[in-house]
């Protein structure tokens, strides 16, 4: 890692294709246990690095979940066909719609009744998907920011109380509802599975009477442990829930995970710029800040820092370091504190679990947005 980082101009994201494919393989194995036809749409909002997307398109292991026309164009340029994409986005303008509707085989999940109407006006008789809101959701630690459906109204999908009207509008334009979609939160683990099952039950009740239905997309949100106390998501348990609920439904089960596929396949490698003791706190400063990977700060999903060096010192003798980035904001801290071997200026540290929602969400805040990416 340190050698690769030494060859980079600054912060470096390293992704492992083996890990990505292993993660996809684990989900495919679980889906095979459901006894239903199935497919994965990788949520490319998690990581749109072109080299990675091209490999995934070649592998044909999955399609892609897209949420904007620009993601559509990027996925096409990386080798995915529109037929292998599922669009789920919010606040979709007419201009966006015109770009999406140019691709007849693209699955488009409507997020509002207005979107159904505007598609009907432009493409009478088209096949559509509808994103519904099951009014129950879950996410990592049930954190409010990671839960997309619940007792408070969220902006996502069509609610039960709107359902009749949604169906009537679709029917008035002869639109065929071939896909039903829900995504009720991000990062759920074993502890949240019961709640996720309740969301699934509520979502599936929308399928009654939809005679053209071919696919039900149960969203992304499959989580990974972020802390040593987190229990992994048991995919066999997850699959058995799907199996039970889909046994009488003759449809394809689709999933659209992002984080689960790429998060633990990536790390962000940074250089230590200064080590300094300040009023009882020992800081290690690094050449990249939260703007390069906003997820830990936005969502309180920590990335564990590890040193990319070997020093002859037992972990019991390591010291506590607060790891600070290079952005002029007080909260720009990667860890406070982390137990690390003795670090020197010029050493490298890697932030683990940085393969999702890092590069793709990064900004140029303080004009410190430069980084490189590599797929190994
Ligand atoms: C509609 C939709 N699908 C899939 C995803 C991917 O979620 P995750 O990365 O948690 O699997 C998201 C994330 O926000 C989403 O909004």
The pLDDT of residue 312 is 80
Domains of the chain, by residue range, sit at: 2-12+264-375, 17-262
Superfamily of domain 2-12+264-375: Lyase, Ornithine Decarboxylase; Chain A, domain 1 (2.40.37.10)
* Residue 228 pLDDT exceeds 80: no
Average pLDDT over residues 157-173: 97
Token reading at 89: 């986005």
Distance 262 CA to ligand 1 centre (A): 12
Average pLDDT over residues 65-80: 98
- 171-191 residue pLDDT tens: 999 999 999 999 989 999 999
Average pLDDT over residues 193-219: 97
The separation between the first and the last C-alpha atoms of the chain, rounded to the nearest angstrom, is 11
Distance 265 CA to ligand 1 centre (A): 17
Indicate which residue's Cα is closest to atom 16 of ligand 1.
183
Question: DSSP letter string over 251-309?
Answer: SEEEE--SHHHHGGGEEEEEEEEEEEEETTEEEEEES--GGG--HHHHH-----EEESS
- 239-298 residue pLDDT tens: 999 999 999 999 999 999 999 999 999 999 999 999 999 999 999 999 999 999 999 988
What is the number of the ligand 1 atom nearest to the C-alpha of 220? 11
What is the number of the ligand 1 atom nearest to the C-alpha of 109? 1
Element of type H or E holding 88: strand 85-88
45 pLDDT band, cuts 50/70/90, is very high
The pLDDT of residue 96 is 98
The pLDDT of residue 317 is 83
DSSP β-bridge partners for residue 285: 274, 324
Cα gap 119→27, rounded to integer Å: 33
Ligand 1 binding residues, C-beta < 6 A: 43, 46, 65, 88, 183, 186-187, 219-222, 256-260
Distance 183 CA to ligand 1 centre (A): 7
User: Burial letters for 211-246: b for 16+ Cβ neighbours within 10 Å, e otherwise?
Assistant: eebbbbbbbbbbbbbbeeebeebebeebbebbbebb
What is the number of the ligand 1 atom nearest to the C-alpha of 139? 10
357 pLDDT band, cuts 50/70/90, is very high
Element of type H or E holding 28: helix 17-32
Distance 220 CA to ligand 1 centre (A): 5
346 pLDDT band, cuts 50/70/90, is very high
Q: Which of 71, 186, 235 to mutate to test the pocket of ligand 1 (most atoms within 8 A of CB)?
A: 186
Distance 148 CA to ligand 1 centre (A): 10
The pLDDT of residue 149 is 83
DSSP β-bridge partners for residue 147: 185
Nearest CA among 256, 225, 260, 253 for reference residue 239: 253
- 18-37 residue pLDDT tens: 999 999 999 999 999 999 99
The pLDDT of residue 152 is 84
Distance 337 CA to ligand 1 centre (A): 30
Indicate which residue's Cα is closest to atom 10 of ligand 1.
221
- 130-141 residue pLDDT tens: 999 999 999 998
Distance 360 CA to ligand 1 centre (A): 13
- 293-326 residue pLDDT tens: 999 988 888 899 999 988 888 888 888 999 999 9
Mean pLDDT of the chain: 95
Q: Which of 154, 189, 256 to mutate to test the pocket of ligand 1 (most atoms within 8 A of CB)?
A: 256
Nearest CA among 102, 94, 93, 52 for reference residue 72: 102
Residue pair 6/308 in contact (Cβ under 8 Å)? The answer is no
Distance 46 CA to ligand 1 centre (A): 8
Q: What's the gap between Cα 312 and its chain centre?
A: 38
Instruction: State percent of the chain over pLDDT 70.
Output: 100
* Residue 1 pLDDT exceeds 80: no
The pLDDT of residue 227 is 82
Average pLDDT over residues 205-216: 97
Q: Which of 41, 45, 90, 233 to mutate to test the pocket of ligand 1 (most atoms within 8 A of CB)?
A: 45
What is the number of the ligand 1 atom nearest to the C-alpha of 88? 1
The pLDDT of residue 352 is 95
Distance 43 CA to ligand 1 centre (A): 6
CATH topology of domain 17-262: TIM Barrel (3.20.20)
For the ranges 1-10, 165-174, 326-335, the lowest mean pLDDT is seen at: 1-10
Average pLDDT over residues 82-92: 98
The pLDDT of residue 160 is 96
- 47-58 residue pLDDT tens: 999 999 999 999
Token reading at 63: 């399609």
Element of type H or E holding 6: helix 2-6
* Residue 143 pLDDT exceeds 90: no
């Amino acid at each position: 890692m340190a050698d690769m980082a030494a060859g980079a101009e600054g912060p470096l994201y390293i992704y492992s294709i083996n890990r990505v494919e292993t993660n996809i393989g684990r989900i495919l194995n679980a889906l095979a246990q459901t006894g239903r036809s199935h497919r994965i749409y990788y949520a490319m909002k998690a990581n749109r690095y072109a080299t990675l997307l091209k490999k995934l398109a070649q592998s044909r292991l999955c399609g892609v979940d897209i949420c904007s026309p620009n993601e559509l164009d990027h996925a096409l340029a990386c080798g995915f066909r529109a037929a292998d994409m599922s669009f789920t986005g919010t606040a979709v303008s007419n201009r966006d719609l015109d770009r999406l509707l140019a691709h007849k085989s693209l699955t488009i999940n409507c997020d509002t009744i207005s979107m159904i109407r505007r598609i009907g006006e432009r493409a009478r008789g088209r096949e559509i998907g509808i994103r519904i809101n099951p009014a129950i959701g879950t996410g990592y630690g049930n954190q409010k920011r990671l839960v997309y459906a619940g007792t408070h109204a969220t902006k996502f999908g069509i609610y039960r109380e709107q359902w009749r009207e949604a169906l009537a509008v679709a029917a008035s334009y002869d639109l065929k509802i071939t896909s039903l979609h829900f995504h009720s939160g991000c990062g759920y683990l074993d502890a949240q599975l019961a709640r996720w099952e309740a969301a699934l039950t509520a979502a599936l009740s929308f399928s009654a009477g939809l005679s053209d239905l071919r696919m039900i997309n149960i969203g992304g949100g499959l989580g990974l442990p972020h802390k040593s106390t987190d229990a992994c998501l048991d995919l066999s348990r997850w699959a058995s829930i799907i199996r039970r609920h889909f046994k009488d439904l003759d449809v394809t089960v689709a999933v659209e995970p992002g984080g689960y596929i790429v998060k633990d396949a990536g790390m962000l490698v940074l250089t230590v710029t200064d080590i300094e003791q300040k009023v009882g706190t020992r800081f290690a400063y690094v050449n990249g800040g939260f703007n390069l990977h906003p997820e830990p700060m936005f969502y309180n999903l920590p990335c564990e820092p590890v040193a990319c060096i070997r020093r002859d010192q037992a972990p019991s003798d390591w010291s506590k370091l607060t790891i600070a980035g290079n952005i002029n904001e007080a909260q720009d801290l990667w860890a406070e504190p982390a137990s690390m071997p003795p670090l020197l200026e010029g050493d490298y540290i890697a932030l683990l679990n940085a393969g999702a929602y890092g590069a793709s969400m990064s900004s140029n805040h303080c004009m410190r947005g430069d980084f490189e990416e590599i797929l190994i």
